[in-house]
Amino acid sequence: MREKQQSAPGEARLPGPSFKDFILKDQSQPPAAFLEESYEFLGDQDIPYSHYTSTEYADKEGEKLWPRTWQWACREDHIPEPGDYYVYDVADLSAIILRTESGEIKGFFNACMHRGTQLKEPGSCGYSKDLRCPFHGWIYSLDGELIHLPQQWDFPHVEKDSHNLPEVSVDTWAGFVFVNFDQNASSLEEYLGVMPQHFADFKIENRYVDLHIQKRLPCNWKAAAEAFLEAYHVPETHAGGMDGTEVATQYDVFGENVSRFIHTVGAPCPLTDPPPSEQKLLESLFVRGSEDEEVPVVPEGMTARDVYAEIVRTQFAETYEQDFSHISTSQVLDSIEYFLFPNMFLFPGLSLPMVYRFRPDPKDPDYSLFDLLFLRPNPLEGPAPLPPEPVFVDIEESYANVPGIGRLGFVYDQDTNNLAAQTRGFKSSLKRGETLGNYQEIRARHLHSRVEHFIND
């Protein structure tokens, strides 16, 4: 083990070239947002394991966190026409998101005003001309108005407007529909912080859902999220402990609700001395992606990153019949991951276009549900494909069994195969909390600080 560094807490960085150093060598200029840095030391105390395993702690999250934060429920494409609805469930909460006859998007608490029966099944979506309770037949319009009360003679105490469905706060951004169960919620625009500015050039709203996977995970939702908040796990989890696999990664926290990492793809490990040739780097990229093609020679003065990015641009241009020449090398290749508290991960890159969401199991804090979506560019002409039905993958099943995910299925298996062992370790460890790195795991610490903010408020 190395001796302790003498720098102030949070100042230490991986020796060698940084993420910024690598992307500034690209032939194409990266977006200005990629060059921003925003790090703040948030302490180094252990995170108690009880924050993952305690039913009482999970109950507090259900009472104080999930009802008061903005969360993406669906894409606008899930409800394109009047009468289309989508049910979003988190903890014990449930909302019906729908498009009204006027085309407006509204959200309602998923409970009849008579005896509380849910109007739509959890996780369901489809078309409905109105909202009809399956128990006694109370009917609500798509605007939430009570329009039919069977045997009304027995309800003289129900006034015309007294039993309309209460609304949840709803807003949209980048093609996503967000909900907030708080009746006094601040605006989504305020909550998003830097996200609209940073995503201005990505046009996420012009993408469609190509694949949607739901997987049950054997861990708390925070542990699941943390598995994707850092690249510190890459050398061991994805490379089997191989030396020289550290990646140049930048970690940022922007205000209350947004954090980010960006790590290079196709750049050498900063600790490798001497660094591999650009030709070797290009060969490794072909092993990673297009191994069936002949590896071209890297022209003098160019990098493997730029050569491979151009190959990817060409492939995407052929697949989607549009021009991607304006997309920078970093946007094409690098792992660019933004996190919007409490549970949204968004990758705006071209070749890694994923969206994640983690939700708690309402009955057991040791389990959670992982939503994994791939967003692809809309066609320039004609309508985009409608979102597919989610493919459910159980705990013991592999992502690789899902048609269309390809080799990334095995990568996701690696990402989540450690989680059951971690959950067991939470309970068997003599040491009663996890120790986080000051820089590489700052986003995990930020997540916990925000959770505690709501719980203690």
Alpha helical stretches, state H, 289-374: 304-320, 329-333
The pLDDT tens digits of the residues spanning 89-136 come to 999 999 999 999 999 999 999 999 999 999 999 999 999 999 999 999
- Model confidence band, residue 292 (pLDDT cutoffs 50, 70, 90): low
Alpha helix (H) ranges present in 268-418? 278-288, 304-320, 329-333, 408-416
Say if residue 78's pLDDT is above 60.
Answer: yes
Q: What is the band of 5 on the pLDDT scale with cuts at 50, 70, 90? A: low
CB 263 within 8 A of CB 249: yes
Please report, rounded to a whole number, the percentage of residues in the chain having pLDDT higher than 90.
Answer: 86
Q: How confident is the model at residue 383 (pLDDT cuts 50, 70, 90)?
A: very high
Domains along the chain with CATH numbers: 19-55+204-456 (3.90.380.10), 71-184 (2.102.10.10)
> pLDDT class for 173, splitting at 50, 70, 90?
very high
The larger pLDDT score, comparing residue 94 to residue 285, is at: 94
pLDDT of residue 239: 79
Whether the Cβ atoms of residue 444 and residue 436 lie closer than 8 Å to each other: yes
pLDDT score, position 242: 62
Angle value at C-alpha 128, between 124 and 130, nearest 5 degrees: 120
The average confidence (pLDDT) of the chain is: 94
CB 416 within 8 A of CB 233: no
The pLDDT value recorded for residue 243 is 64
d(Cα 170, Cα 99) in Å, to the nearest integer?
A: 11
| pLDDT of 275 higher than 90 | no
Over residues 332-360, mean pLDDT: 96
Confidence of residue 418 (pLDDT cuts 50, 70, 90): very high
Residue pair 75/109 in contact (Cβ under 8 Å)? The answer is: no
Q: Average of pLDDT values for 230-250?
A: 83
Model-wide pTM > 0.85: yes
Indicate the SS3 state at residue 10: coil
- At residue 141, does pLDDT exceed 70? yes
Q: Within 10 A of 7 (CB to CB), how many other CB atoms are there? A: 10
Q: Residue 196 and residue 254: Cα distance in Å, rounded?
A: 12
Residues 59, 55: Cα–Cα separation, whole Å = 6
The answer to whether 181 and 70 have CB atoms below 8 angstroms apart is no
Q: What is the pLDDT of residues 184-213, one digit of tens each?
A: 999 999 999 999 999 998 999 999 999 999
Report the alpha-carbon distance of residue 380 to residue 377 in Å, rounded: 9
Residue 251: band (very low, low, confident or very high) from pLDDT cuts 50, 70, 90: very high
Q: The tokens of 335 are what?
A: 């792992």
**What is the gyration radius of the CA atoms in the chain, in angstroms?**
24
Quote the tokens at residue 143. 């605007």
Collapse the DSSP code of 33 into the 3-class scheme (helix H, G, I; strand E, B; otherwise coil) and give the result: helix
Q: What is the mean pLDDT of residues 336-356?
A: 96
Q: Does pLDDT of 291 surpass 60?
A: no
Helix (H), strand (E) at residue 147: strand 146-148
Banded model confidence at residue 322, pLDDT cuts 50, 70, 90: very high
